[in-house]
Amino acid sequence: RLPVPKLEDTITRYLNAQKPLLNDDQFRKTEELARAFEKGIGRELHEQLVAQDNQNKHTSYITGPWFDMYLKAREPVVLNFNAFMSFNPDPKPEYNDQLIRATNMTVSAIRFMKTFRAGYLEPEVFHLNPEKSDTEIFKKIIRFVPSSISWFGAYMVNAYPLDMSQYFRLFNSTRLPKLNKDELYTDEKAKHLLVLRNGNFYVFDVIDRDGNMLKPSEIQAHLKYILSDNSPAPAFPLGYLSSENRDTWALLRKNLLENGNEEALQKVDSAMFCLSLDDFPIKDFVHVSHTMLHGDAANRWYDKSFNLIITKDGTAGVNFEHSWGDGVAVLRFQNEVFKDSTKAPAISPQSQPASVDSSRAVQKLDFKLNDALKAGITKAKQKFDATVESLSLNLIQFQEGGKELLKQKKVSPDAVAQLAFQMAFLRQYDQTVATYESCSTAAFKHGRTETIRPASVHTKKCSEAFVKELSKHSTEELQKLIMECSKYHGRLTKEAAMGQGFDRHLFTLRYLALSKGLPLPDFYQDQAYARLNHNIISTSTLVSPAVQLGGFGPVVADGFGVGYQVHDDWIGCNVSSYPTRNGKEFLQCVHKSLEDIFNVLKGKKIGS
C-alpha cells in the first residue's frame, strides 16, 4: 500500500524544495508557517488522513483526490492534460504503409486487449536484479505461490510487482464532460472501433458475436474502404467540441443528446479506442510532435482514453487522456503493440483485403446539428486554432554522449539531464524556478505519481558555478559539484518512487481541509506555496524501444513542457512553450549545458 509519509518528513522535504527558490527573509516566513502548520492544523489533518487511510485498505490515499483534481479541472484536455508518445517506424520500410500499419497496429491492440481481459497478460514487474528474478524458473515458482504472499516472494529477489489497476480503462473508455466534474465511462461489452478520417466518424465491429476478433484481412478491407471514401469533410466537424472548456462542452453535449444524437454519441463513447487516420505525410520531428500532441481537432476525439494516430506515411503515435491513468500503462500498451505488430504482423504488404461488403459493415456516423451546436463548433474551432497558433514546439538531439558515458563516470543520467535544465534556465533567465519531474508510484496499490523536485540548493550552486563563476573553479571542483547534484537527485528519486515525496501528501491534506469545509490553513495561503506549485519547468522522461519521442504542453502559460530521453549515446529533448517563453533558446542553453557537463566529466577545461 502507498504509505502516508510522516508529517515532519514532509515539512522538511517541502522546506528543502523551497530553499533554492526564496531569499533568506522569504524562507524564514515560509519556515514559520510550515512549522506552525506541522504543530497545529496540519497535525490534525494528518491524523484524520491516516485514520481514513486505515479504513480504506482497498485503495490508496491519493486515488480519490487525484481523480477529482483531473475530473474537476475545467480547462480543455488537449494541450493542458493529454500527452503523446510517438512510435518508432516499423524496421521494415514496406510495412510503414498507412493501411498496412493501421491494420497491424489495430490487430495488435485488440490482441493486447483480449490477452489482458482473459487474465493472461504478463504482470508488470520492476526488476532491480533481473539476473535473479527475470527468469523462467522464478516465474514458474512464483505462479504457484498464493497471491496474498507472492509479492513477498518477489520482494525477496528484489522484484517489485507494479499496480495494474488502471489498465482496464485503456479500452472502451471515454471521459464524459459534465458540469463541474467530468465522469469516466467504460463499456466493456462494446465490440466496435471508432475511426476518424477527414473529420468524418466511422464505426465497425472488430469482435464477433462469439467474442473472437475479426480476421485481419476483414479489418484491412474495412480500413481500406474508409481510406478510399471520398465524402467531403463536414462543414462543422464534431471533433472540435472535445477541445473545448469542459463546462462549455458539457452544455453542448447536453444539446447534442437532446437533438437526437444519443445513439451516435454512445457509439463514440463506448468504442474500443479511436483510430485517427491523417491524410498527410510527416515532414520532421517537430511536425510529428504537433501532429501527435494536438493535430487537427476535426480528426481527434481527445476524450477517448487514447487516440491511435497514423499518418499518410505510416508515422504512428498515441495521444492519451490523463485522468484515467498514467504513462506507465500507456507505455506498456505501446511496447506490446509495437513488438507484436513488427515481430508478428497480422498482414504483409502482399496481403489482399478480404472480399467483404464493407459498405454494410462500416457505419458512417451522422450528427444532427442545430444552430446553437454549429455556433458552438465554430467557436471551439476559433479557440483551438488560436491556442495551437501560439504554441511552439522545439527539439534537440545532443549527440556527444548519453547513459553509457555517465554511468562510467558514476553519475546518474537523469540527474545530469535535470541539472542541464536548471543551468539552461539560469543562463537564459538568470533565476531558479519551480521544477516538476513526474515519478511513478505504481509499486504501490493504486499508486499514481509523485513529484521529484529537481531544483535544489545543490543544482543552484552547481549551475551558478558553471554559468556565472566558471573562472573561479577548477575542473575537479566542478566535477565534485556535479557529483553532489547526482547524489542528491538519486535520493529524491528513490524517495519519490517509494511514496516518500511531499507533494501528494500536502495536496491531500489541503483537499481534506477543503472537503471538511474548514478555512484554508495559512500554510497554503503562503505565496511561496503557490509559487512552488506554479511549475515553470515541467518535465517527464521515458525510454523505450517502441517510442521515438514523447511530449506534452506547458502546464502554466509562462512555462516549458519538457519531454526528454537519455539514450545510451545521445540525449533527446522536446520542449513546448507559449509566446512568453522562448523554447528554441532554452534548448540551445540546454545543449550548451550538456556540452559543459560532459566536458567537465571527461576532465576537459571549459571556457565560458
Phi/psi at 431 (5° precision): -155, 165
DSSP conformation letters of 341-407:
HHHS-S--TTPPPP---HHHH-EE------HHHHHHHHHHHHHHHHHHHH-EEEEEEE-S--HHHHH
For 376-380, the CB contacts below 8 A with 24+ separation are 376/241, 376/244, 376/248, 376/252, 376/255, 377/236, 377/237, 377/238, 377/240, 377/241, 378/236, 380/240, 380/241, 380/243, 380/244, 380/248, 380/297
C-alpha to C-alpha distance for 167 and 301, rounded to whole angstroms: 20
Residues 6+ apart with CB under 8 A from 277: 98, 102, 195, 196, 197, 223, 226, 227, 299, 310
- Distance, CA of 386 to CA of 274 (rounded, Å): 25
**Cβ neighbours of 164 (radius 10 Å):** 15
Task: State the Cα–Cα distance between residues 228 and 200, nearest whole angstrom.
Answer: 13
Question: What is the enclosing helix (H) or strand (E) of 319?
Answer: strand 316-320
185 burial type by CB count under 10 A (0-12 exposed, 13-18 middle, 19+ buried): middle
Residues 561-571: b if buried by 16+ CB within 10 A, e if exposed: bbbbbbeeeeb
**Single-letter code of the amino acid located at 21:** L
Q: Does 322 qualify as catalytic in the annotation? A: yes
Report the alpha-carbon distance of residue 492 to residue 450 in Å, rounded.
11
Sheet-wide strand order for 274-277: 363-364, 200-205, 192-197, 274-277, 306-310, 316-320, 83-87, 547-552
CB 229 within 8 A of CB 112: no
In sequence order, the 6+-apart residues with CB closer than 8 A to the CB of 67 are 184, 323
Q: Which residue in 290, 322, 446, 489 is the catalytic one?
A: 322
On whether the CB atoms of residues 323 and 70 are closer than 8 A, the answer is yes
Structural element, H or E, at residue 194: strand 192-197
Whole-angstrom distance, CA of residue 316 vs CA of residue 86: 6
Q: Backbone phi, then psi, for 504, in 5-degree steps?
A: -65, -35
- Residue that is written with C-alpha cell 516499423 in the block: 90
The 10 Å Cβ neighbour count of residue 112 is 21
Reduced DSSP (H G I as helix, E B as strand, rest coil) percent helix, strand, coil of the chain, to 5 = 50, 15, 35
Q: Give residues with Cβ within 8 angstroms of 557, minimum separation 6.
A: 578, 580
> Residue 217 and residue 219: Cα distance in Å, rounded?
6
Please list the active-site residues: 322
